Structure 1
């Protein structure tokens, strides 16, 4: 095997590892965001766990964060709690930082 092939495989492995890491951080962020929204809506502990899982699932519908933001805005508003898109986006950013720190702390 040549050194070029070794480097190529190392780059592919790094890319796969980075993609997996990003996926895990994003899933954790979405769970934390779901817990944040559930608290705002006054859900029980069991409802909070189910809702957090639903938020994680919502992220699989399309690429990007817009599907998660739409879900949260719709659900929070439907629960009769006032919120804005800016507030949800701010929470998303804060939970992204929290999830990254938690994940990297575990590694």
Structure 2
């Protein structure tokens, strides 16, 4: 029975690591999206940092990416930047790849 218990613990540990990595990738992706949007709005470095943090925080409003997309599209539109959901979704997808790459390189 020890072998089965060891396998179960290993599976649970892998699940926890994968779950943590997914969370970290999403948070990094959202931060990168905030930096991308801040660049579009021509914010200062201090404003960019604060805005990127606000985008990460926006992800905790509801499950999924809709809260982040809604925030970024709304902020870009309010700043006079011509954008739409598709543009932000495309940036989100591209930045997800970059976020995973950055986290894997940091290991």
Q: When the two structures are superposed, what TM-score results if normalisation uses the length of structure 2?
A: 0.97
Distance 2:8 2:58 in 1: 35
Counterpart in 1 of 2:78? 78
Instruction: Specify every segment of 5 or more residues in structure 2 that has no aligned partner in the other structure, as ranges.
Output: none
Runs of 4+ in 1 over 3 A off after TM superposition: none
| 3-state SS of paired residue (1:60) | coil
Coordinate RMSD, CA, aligned: 0.9
Unaligned runs of 5+ in 1: none
Following superposition, the deviation at residue 3 of structure 1 comes to: 1.0
Give, in whole Å, the separation in 2 of the partners of 1:84 and 1:7. 47
Q: Provide the rounded CA distance (Å) in 2 between the counterparts of 1:11 and 1:62.
A: 29
* CA–CA distance in structure 2, aligned partners of residues 28 and 73 of structure 1: 19
Partner of residue 12, structure 2: 12
Aligned length: 107
Matched residue, 1:101: 101
